[in-house]
Amino acid sequence: MLQAKRRPGESSDDRLVNWSPSRTANNARQIIQPMASVPNIPVPESMASLPGLLAEIRKEQLGSLPAPPDSLSHYTDTHGLMGIFRSNELWATDALYTNDGFETFHALFILGQHVESRKKDPANDPLTAMMTIAGQEFYAVVNTYVVSFCPDGDLLSQWRGYAHPGGYSLGFDPDVLTSLCGPHVMLAPVVYDRAEQESKIADLVKRWDDVFGAANPNDFNEQVIRLGAFSFAQTLSFMAALFKNEGFKEEQEWRLVYRRQGLLHEAKPLGIGHRERMGMVAGYARLPLPAVTEKSVPIRNVIVGPADNPNLAMIGVHQFQKSLGYPEELIRVGRSVISLR
């Protein structure tokens, strides 16, 4: 598997939560050291096909995304609503700090199963070494930030998470959200079905196996193995950002995902900040929204969640957006039809 050996008194969950760059780097060095005995060997022919493989997989991944629904709503609390209106930005939270405690780990679990099922020594099989290092050093290669949306702007399960002491859903035009997409930002639905998750990982592994499965380990040194591992992590990150536990399926979540490259240069990287979340310091990426004009605003509507004084909350939203210069007639403010105590 992709995890370190279990220590006494430590669960598999602990080993994932306690991941650190230094630990995984040491693990990776142990794996690739036998392949590094001839440091100056030529780059293997199979590596020459890597850029084309990456481009092909990326094109297929993006091309497979369905069209978004007619409206997508972002649930937030009062602090979040005020921050979005004031900054005209969405703050994408580090995926490690979302409501699924094992966010992004689902893909690594499944990958680990594939590595184990190969029954090959990574010291003698370049692809096994690449996938192992990709899993162990995944968070040193790619940082994933997400903003969550739901097609239903008035959903009981969402209010349970955001309506105490007060919550709101902000409705966005999907065209506004897709305008934020680019080389490292995408809008996509979450995949909850475990069988579908396993199928996607299996297909990815097969694509790489077609290129590297019969490779001669004597043709690979440490640098080449690491290049392959980091490239594999890039393709895996697309899936890792979208896999979630089936228990959250009712949310029907869509995501704006920003995949920040830890080792590759980005021409225009998004700004990164930090804030308190769940009693911890969590990173976030700033996604600027289109400018507010007299004829156009990025937010279609605001729904006030179940509250003791919903009408008073609606008045507060009206007054707040007016104070910021938002055209009141362009943003509908309503109240939830759901009762929640």
pLDDT tens, the chain, 341 aa long: 343 333 334 343 433 333 333 344 444 444 444 444 445 567 788 888 888 888 999 888 888 899 999 999 999 999 999 999 999 999 999 988 887 767 778 999 999 999 999 899 998 999 999 999 999 999 888 889 999 999 999 999 899 887 666 799 999 999 999 999 988 899 999 999 999 999 999 999 999 999 998 888 988 988 899 999 999 998 999 999 999 988 889 889 999 999 987 766 677 788 999 998 888 999 999 999 999 888 888 999 999 998 888 999 999 999 999 999 998 889 999 999 987 66
Structural domain including 77 reads 23-35+47-264+277-335
Residue 205 within a domain: yes
Whether this model's pTM surpasses 0.85: no
Sequential DSSP letters for 85-126: HHHTEEEEEEGGGSSSTTTTHHHHHHHHHHHHHHT--TTT-H
Beta-strand relationship, 280-288 and 142-149: unpaired
Residue 16 within a domain: no
Predicted pLDDT at 28: 42
DSSP H helical segments within the chain, as ranges? 12-17, 21-32, 45-48, 50-63, 78-87, 105-118, 126-136, 138-141, 156-162, 174-178, 194-212, 222-240, 310-323
Q: Centre a 10 Å sphere on the Cβ of residue 29 and count the other Cβ atoms it contains.
A: 13
Predicted pLDDT at 194: 93
Number of structural domains (the chain) is 1
Q: Tokens for 13?
A: 């969950």
Predicted pLDDT at 150: 95
Residue 298 within a domain: yes
Residue 306 within a domain: yes
Residue 187 within a domain: yes
Cα 84 from Cα 76, distance rounded (Å):
10
Report long-range pairs for 276-279 (Cβ below 8 Å, ≥24 apart): 277/93, 277/97, 278/97
Predicted pLDDT at 312: 94
Closest CA to 189 of 131, 120, 242: 242
* Contact (CB, 8 A) for 218 and 126: no
Residue 15 within a domain: no
Predicted pLDDT at 17: 36
Q: Please report which helix (H) or strand (E) contains residue 333, including its range.
A: strand 332-335
Q: Centre a 10 Å sphere on the Cβ of residue 317 and count the other Cβ atoms it contains.
A: 20
Q: Please report which helix (H) or strand (E) contains residue 33, including its range.
A: none
* Contact (CB, 8 A) for 243 and 105: no
Phi first, then psi: give them for residue 283, nearest 5 degrees. Answer: -80, 155
Q: Cis peptide before 165, with omega less than 30 degrees from 0?
A: yes
Sheet with strand 272-277: strands edge to edge? 185-189, 254-261, 142-149, 89-94, 280-288, 272-277
Cα 139 from Cα 24, distance rounded (Å):
10
Closest CA to 85 of 322, 296, 321: 321
Beta-strand relationship, 272-277 and 332-335: unpaired
Residue 92 CB-half CA count within 13 A: 28
End-to-end CA distance of the chain: 45
For residue 72, what are the β-bridge partners? 172
* Contact (CB, 8 A) for 162 and 305: yes
Predicted pLDDT at 208: 94
